[in-house]
Amino acid sequence: MDKFYVTTPIYYVNDKPHIGHAYTTILADVLARFHRSLGDDTFFLTGTDEHGQKVEKAANARGVSPIDHCNETVVRFQELWEKLGITNDFFIRTTQDNHVGVVQNVLQALYDKGEIYKAEYSGWYCVGDERFFTEKDLVDGKCPECGREVTEIMESNYFFRMGKYREWLIDYIQTHPDFIQPAFRANETLGFLKKELGDLCISRPKSRLAWGIELPFDTDYVCYVWFDALLNYVSAVGYLRRDEDFRRWWPASCQLIGKDILTTHTVYWTTMLKAMDIPLPKTIFAHGWWLTGDKKMSKSLGNVVNPMDMIARCGVDAFRYYLLAEMSPGNDANFTEDAFVSRYNSDLANDLGNLLSRVNKLTLRATGGTIPSPGTFEDADREFEAEVSAAAAAMPVCRAEVKLDQGIAAVMQAVRAGNRYIEKTAPWALIKSGNTERLNTVLFLAADALRRIAVLLQPVMPTKMAELAAAIGYPNGDIGTIDRISAPSDIAGRKMTETAGLFPRIQVEATPVAPVSAKKEPKKKPEPSSCDPIAIDDFAKVVLKAARVLAAEAVPDSKKLLKLQIDLGDEKRQIVSGIAETYRPDDIVGKTIVVVANLKPAVIRGVESNGMLLAAGHGDKIRLATLDGDIRPGERIG
């Protein structure tokens, strides 16, 4: 049995939870559910960050004590997580006595070891970010992180000797490729470490800020909120209190964060652990941002998406599905209601919902609901079975690499293959002609595919997949665990029950054609044609780059697909392309081609494709777009 310990950042208790917070927490939840389903010993931690200036200010403004303010606001997170079906094993609040005790013990131990010292300090302070900056960090005299005003401060403070770990940290990152993921975030950290690394100011004089954990060796000071907050990851699992628990869970398997807090985790946190003689987490994974309308969500722009509103509109599972399917975690993603509705209607209502409803109706009609045992398999059956097995094989790989969007895409491919299989084998005609043996095979395979799809999507949509499971004969939705997905099926003989639509279509609101007209027409997205001009800004969204083909090979069991390894200048990538009827692998190696470099990754026939090459033509008459003359791989085209 393996161990899996996953964490989210602890959120500022003051904030109103939005889809950014929801995303990290749902991602952690899905990973935890997957691991539990595999039988792994799993611990999932989330919580709230409750000290610091912002909380103190907000409490003062309301005329309540900081702890009362925290007690009132923490509920917003706790209620949301409950609503979203989050299965955290513990919810840490940094105001809990146990956590406070651990922080004080760590501070004292580091002070005793000479890792913390007192010095005179002058610097620029940003209240919003609760961080100090040096004069040269500032951008136009303002905070380099958020652009707000900074205040000059001169005072005595305590410092953690972070700077001395610079070389060690560089070496650690370079020799542990799994440590910071995705890999380009490791490069970002290494870039940060190129500059000199200063020591970290870890105290605030009480005269300026009282709401924090008191330093055990100087009661005139409280602890810097980040130093306190980061320690939650170890205090929650028994550090310095319950040795056995601590050994059971630490080091964490996966610490999920947003890209906004990369440095605090990959530099502050890791050097703190080093000073404390504690091993580092296996992986720190930084995902991108959710944007709305291509902009960062912010209260002042009024574009913050409230998860509660989305849940009320479309249900918890569809919301969880959308966030995970839409974001490829390395990159930013854009939230729009249109994109949400269109993905819901196509993936869930049309594809998955439709597959269940067809199989359900056909089985009820053919056998009164009992799922039959199969007869002999034909080519169409084997091909369909292979598509479902490809999804089952892709999901664990994608899960391990925190590429759940790609795992989900692979499952959706199997769902679509299911609908094609039903069309091809036409069970309604088999019912009519009385070809029972063939009919039994088709109904069995389709129902069994639904079983495997439900197991794969269960961590993402626990409630809906339990409903699906119940509809195909697993009472209470008890469909089994992922480790049994490829075991011989136990579905034959089970009884389907009539099911209402699993995912009712969301009706797109009709919009008036013209303000004066009462007539309503549905919104249509016109197909672009060469006569429909687009703005240069729209074109600029597509990043076209020159790439050199380093290696190529056929994708097994496919006539059309080649798998290419390409050089994009500062990175190597794999893409899959449907050019095999024209180009043999040897024809294409060494060519410089044109690639769409910012396309969302996809899994094609179980193979990951990270970009798309440009070509014209079909079948055996395809011609690649190439560049006229020598050009460096990675050069932008446009």
For the chain, the helix, strand and coil percentages under 3-state DSSP, each to the nearest 5: 45, 20, 35
Subset of 288-307 contacting ligand MSP (CB under 6 A): 289-290, 297
Q: How far apart are CA 544 and CA 180, in angstroms?
A: 28
Distances (CA, A) of 398 to 20, 180, 407: 21, 17, 5
CB of 329 to ligand MSP, least distance (A): 10
Q: Which is nearer to ligand MSP, 159 or 290 (CB)?
A: 290
Strands 41-49 and 11-12: parallel
The stretch among 80-88, 113-121, 224-232, 340-348 that binds ligand MSP (CB under 6 A) is: 224-232
Q: Which is nearer to ligand MSP, 257 or 549 (CB)?
A: 257
Query: Which residue from 447, 426, 137 is spatially nearest to 263, judged by alpha carbons?
Result: 137
Residue nearest to ligand MSP (CB): 20
Q: Rounded to an integer, what is the distance from CA 436 to the centroid of its chain?
A: 45
Asked whether position 23 contacts ligand MSP by CB under 6 A, the answer is yes
Q: Which is nearer to ligand MSP, 26 or 485 (CB)?
A: 26
The stretch among 21-29, 83-91, 172-180, 432-440 that binds ligand MSP (CB under 6 A) is: 21-29
Asked whether position 200 contacts ligand MSP by CB under 6 A, the answer is no
Write phi, then psi, for 356 (nearest 5 degrees): -60, -45
Q: Which is nearer to ligand MSP, 50 or 608 (CB)?
A: 50
Asked whether position 20 contacts ligand MSP by CB under 6 A, the answer is yes
Write phi, then psi, for 552 (nearest 5 degrees): -150, 145
Asked whether position 384 contacts ligand MSP by CB under 6 A, the answer is no
Q: How far apart are CA 411 and CA 355, in angstroms?
A: 13
Asked whether position 257 contacts ligand MSP by CB under 6 A, the answer is yes
Task: Out of 70, 143, 230, 469, name the contact with ligand MSP by CB under 6 A.
Answer: 230
The stretch among 118-126, 174-182, 253-261, 552-560 that binds ligand MSP (CB under 6 A) is: 253-261
Q: CA dihedral defined by 271, 277, 282, 287, rounded to 10 degrees?
A: -30
Distances (CA, A) of 142 to 122, 153, 260, 512: 16, 14, 18, 47
Number of residues located near ligand MSP, criterion CB under 6 A: 20
Subset of 48-107 contacting ligand MSP (CB under 6 A): 49
Q: Which is nearer to ligand MSP, 17 or 611 (CB)?
A: 17
Task: Out of 4, 6, 10, 314, name the contact with ligand MSP by CB under 6 A.
Answer: 10
Asked whether position 126 contacts ligand MSP by CB under 6 A, the answer is no
Distances (CA, A) of 303 to 296, 371, 604: 8, 49, 35
Q: Which is nearer to ligand MSP, 11 or 421 (CB)?
A: 11
Asked whether position 273 contacts ligand MSP by CB under 6 A, the answer is no
Strands 203-205 and 214-215: unpaired
Q: Which is nearer to ligand MSP, 250 or 421 (CB)?
A: 250
* Structure-token pair, residue 580: 């095999």
Please enumerate in sequence order all residues whose Cβ is within 8 A of that of 343, keeping only pairs 6 or more positions apart, or say none: 322, 325, 326
Note the residues at the interface with ligand MSP (CB under 6 A): 9-12, 15, 20-21, 23-24, 49, 229-230, 232, 257-258, 260-261, 289-290, 297
